[in-house]
Amino acid sequence: MDFMPDTAALAAPLELKFAPATGVFEGYAAVFHNVDSAGDRILPGAFTASLSACRREGRFPPLLWQHDPKRVIGIWEDMYEDSNGLYVRGRLFTDDITQAREAYALLKENVVSGLSIGYRTVESARDGKTGVRLLTALELLEVSIVTFPANDRARVRAVKSQITVGLLPAEKDVEAHLRDAGLSRRQAKALMAHGYKALAARDAMDGDDTAEGAALLATLAARIRALT
């Protein structure tokens, strides 16, 4: 078994949502079928046994800052697997811990946007064609907020929430969202260059049509997902 804190950073359908209560946020700590910089891919069901053990014990792994065991900055209030990956909802101790307040501010401003998992490998196999290590069972030790996740897609973003309230998100966030929907890097960049930039420019000229543009973007993302 090996403990892999920094190299096990997979992530999300790439949004970070904030609840009205200060310090509460949710997102994804890992996504399935995605290869990280260490050449690992987590498969569905990898966390099942570990999460079951956590529920029996009545506690989830610690919420750390940058994988530092000395910097516990909050608590994970819920974790479960869905079709996308490992969903997490956490609460930062903003009233009592200075680092937690700083982390929350950085998350809300999208300055720091990474989530990363620390784990022990319980079961794995090697893909003979690609050399990718397939992780089928993991013991989850901790989940951290990090600056540089090993997998760049392991980031928490506010794309969905921004669209919901009628805002047009930043281009880099929309491009990541499109790639999550199934487009290749080249396809996403082409669509951004010839579609989204034109949409954003038109909304800037029209002034009051930003909500319309966001609605069109949301519809486009839904249709892309339906095709993949």
Residue 4 has a pLDDT of: 43
Residue 126 has pLDDT above 70, yes or no: yes
For the chain, the C-alpha Rg in angstroms (whole number) is 18
Residue 180 has a pLDDT of: 55
* pLDDT tens by residue, 54-93: 999 999 999 999 999 999 999 999 999 998 899 999 999 9
* pLDDT tens by residue, 174-185: 666 666 555 677
Which of 178, 165, 143 lies closest to 47 in space, CA to CA? 143
Residue 142 has a pLDDT of: 94
Residue 227 has a pLDDT of: 46
* pLDDT tens by residue, 152-208: 555 544 434 444 444 455 566 666 666 655 567 777 777 777 765 555 554 444 444
Could you tell me if 43 and 134 are in contact, meaning their C-beta atoms sit under 8 angstroms apart? Answer: yes
Q: What percent of the chain has pLDDT over 90?
A: 34
Instruction: Give CA–CA dist 48/27, Å, rounded.
Output: 18
Which of 16, 45, 38, 48 lies closest to 29 in space, CA to CA? 16
Residues belonging to the active site: 67, 116, 142
C-alpha 190 chain-centroid distance: 23
Residue 47 has pLDDT above 90, yes or no: yes
* pLDDT tens by residue, 8-43: 334 333 355 655 557 888 888 888 888 877 788 999
Residue 223 has a pLDDT of: 56
Instruction: Give CA–CA dist 61/50, Å, rounded.
Output: 10
Q: What average pLDDT does range 119-148 have in this prediction?
A: 91
Instruction: Give CA–CA dist 206/212, Å, rounded.
Output: 11
Residue 82 has a pLDDT of: 92
How many CB atoms sit inside 10 A of residue 186's CB? 8
Mean pLDDT of all residues belonging to the chain: 75
Residue 164 has a pLDDT of: 46
Residue 133 has a pLDDT of: 92
